[in-house]
Structure 1
Amino acid sequence: MYFNQVPAKTGYLWFKQGLQLFWENLTIFLMGSLGYTLLMLLISSAPVLGHYLPLVLLPLVTICFMTVCRNTLNHESTSPIALLASLRTTFSQRVVWQLLLLGLCQAFALFILVFLIQKVALLNAQPKIMESNPLILFVLMLAMILSSIANAMLLWFSPALTAWRQVPLHKAIFFSGVVCWRNLSAIVVHGLLWLGFACALSLIVFSILSAFGSTEEQIKQNLIFIMQIILVPVSFCTRYASYISCFPTEPPPTIQS
């Protein structure tokens, strides 16, 4: 599969283009994010499986938001009827099952990560074990960090490759990891910018909420809710920008000698 290898500064362009997409269709993105947040809160209330069901559905949600990005960039209608028509052509039975399976892989990865975190917490609570073999904690923490990074890289492009390019799931996951690795510098720049944006936004929202004299608990709940509504669509917009940058519609023509 053909893909572009881009310099580190392209990570800034992804972030900039993502913000432009978000701002260009602000109402649709915020309404969609609000509906998504409320739905995930409802699903999360389910016992046991409530922690993992949102992750199972996440690849489907990713394509929904990225479809809004695609229609916005192509100057096509983003009305609910137009979006439903676009999603109807994308979500064939095969694609839906593939995306749900991808979500199951992501939920399993989270399960492994939670298991490692619990192991680290358990070791911290037993100083005798730590004194006898401190290398255990280092290995577990390293595995926890590497597994979370690997999970993000393998699932970054795979929903779009599966839904829009009909790439088999195992190949989509493989290509997503390869492309992220080959463009790691741009991914890192993008991630740092997104983290800085999230921190700056949280400070602004916190200052506004504090000015209204809310209690500490109210500020905490409202801050989390507002941040999620804004950051979720921004993250999908910047991901779409990275997707169209790394996977152009057509490979460049080759010059035959």
Structure 2
Amino acid sequence: MQALNLPAARGWRWLGAGYALFRRNPAILSLLLLTYWMLLALVGSLPFIGSLITYLAMPALSLVLMNACRVLDRGLAVTPQSLSTGIRPQAPVLVGLGGLYLCGTLLILGLASLVDGGDLFRLMFIGGDHGDLPADNPEFLLATQLALLLVVPLVMAFWFAPMLAAWHRQGAGKALFFSFFACLRNWRPFLTYSLSILLWSGLVPALAMGLLGMILGPGMAAAIVMVPLILVLAPSLVASFYVSYREVFVEGAPAFATTVGDEEGPEEGGGDGDHA
């Protein structure tokens, strides 16, 4: 498996490319994303084991979204078979990835607990009261900053891992390895990608909400801004996750196929660029 080394400017275009992919079938991507959120919320609400099941199932559920983006990118119809591509044969690996992500999250929160006495852990897993955690609590703020710093390599290791496991038949360790170093080699485009997300999901909505709030009131302004954020930006963001995979590992125009199924072999990266 080889990962291309892309210039920084490429990451700036990933969100726009995700929006273009979303426009191919807005209804299906929006519906799948809403279903994904609902399933995670329902399972997560189960007492005692809800959080565990959520983490274990998250790689497979997220892969359903990536399969939909992959099919739309190839100009094919989204079918139940295409949505499940790679999940059944690699189910143990995907569940293992979820378990490893849970262990990594617990380790990070455990280290943060050394700073704040476990406040962040309780907030994340037990549902602590936000009122008990004032914004000016220095220990809690320091623990949050520490957790955000430590979660970056964790996210890098898992960014491409479900796709590499399902579509390239890699084991958990190999998928995590290639995902981490692919992200590391492409830290520049990922940095500009992050800035693009911050612009369109943070600064632009805040500005629009402020301007509309002066005219329509804060409640109406929030409602008007949140609708496109949920129905357009969120699925476009999900599609941009796939775009980052396609450009890092499979640069160039996608290879069109007549079917997409578990019988597919591993794809090979191609196109111009430096290789890892």
TM range (shorter): 0.7 to 0.9
**Alpha-carbon spacing, 1:164–1:205, altered in 2? closer, same or farther (3 Å):** farther
Deviation at residue 189 of structure 1 after TM alignment? 0.8
Is 1:194 matched with 2:197? yes
From 109, 115, 121, the counterpart of 2:110: 115
Tell me the residue number matched to 1:237.
239
The answer to which structure has the higher helix fraction is 1
Counterpart amino acid of residue 241 in structure 2: R
Alpha-carbon deviation of 1:192?
1.5
RMSD across aligned positions (CA): 3.6
Give the superposition deviation at 1:123: 9.3
1:85 aligned residue: 81
Q: How far apart are the structure 1 equivalents of 2:204 and 2:48? A: 32
In 2, Cα distance between equivalents of 1:222 and 1:34: 19
Q: Does 1:159 align with 2:162?
A: yes
TM-score by length of 2: 0.72
Question: How much does 1:75 deviate?
Answer: 0.9
1:91-139 deviations in Å (ceiling 9; x for gaps): 233x111111101111222222333344333399xxxxxxxxxxx9999
Q: 1:138 to 1:42 in 2, by over 3 A?
A: closer
Structure 1 gap segments, 5+ residues each: 125-135
For the 8 Å contact 2:43–2:53, the answer to whether it is kept is yes
Question: How big is the shift at 1:88?
Answer: 4.2
**CA distances 1:9-49 after superposition (whole Å, capped 9, x unpaired):** 01012121112112222111111112122222211211233
Question: Structure 1 vs Structure 2: percent identity of aligned residues?
Answer: 23
Whether contact under 8 Å (1:65, 1:233) holds in the other structure is no
Q: Closer, same or farther in 2 for the Cα pair 1:67/1:175, shift >3 Å?
A: same
- Identify unmatched segments of 5+ residues in structure 2: 120-138, 251-267
TM-score relative to the length of structure 1: 0.76
CA distance in 2, matches of 1:60, 1:123: 30
Q: What letter matches 1:3 in structure 2? A: A
2: CA distance, partners of 1:142 / 1:59: 26
Moved more, 33-42 or 113-122: 113-122
C-alpha separation between the residues in 2 aligned to 1:40 and 1:163? 21
Between 172-181 and 192-201, the greater mean CA deviation after superposition: 192-201
- Residue aligning to 1:3: 3
Q: What is the number of equivalent residue pairs in this alignment?
A: 236
Of residues 145, 150, 160 in structure 2, which corresponds to 1:147? 150
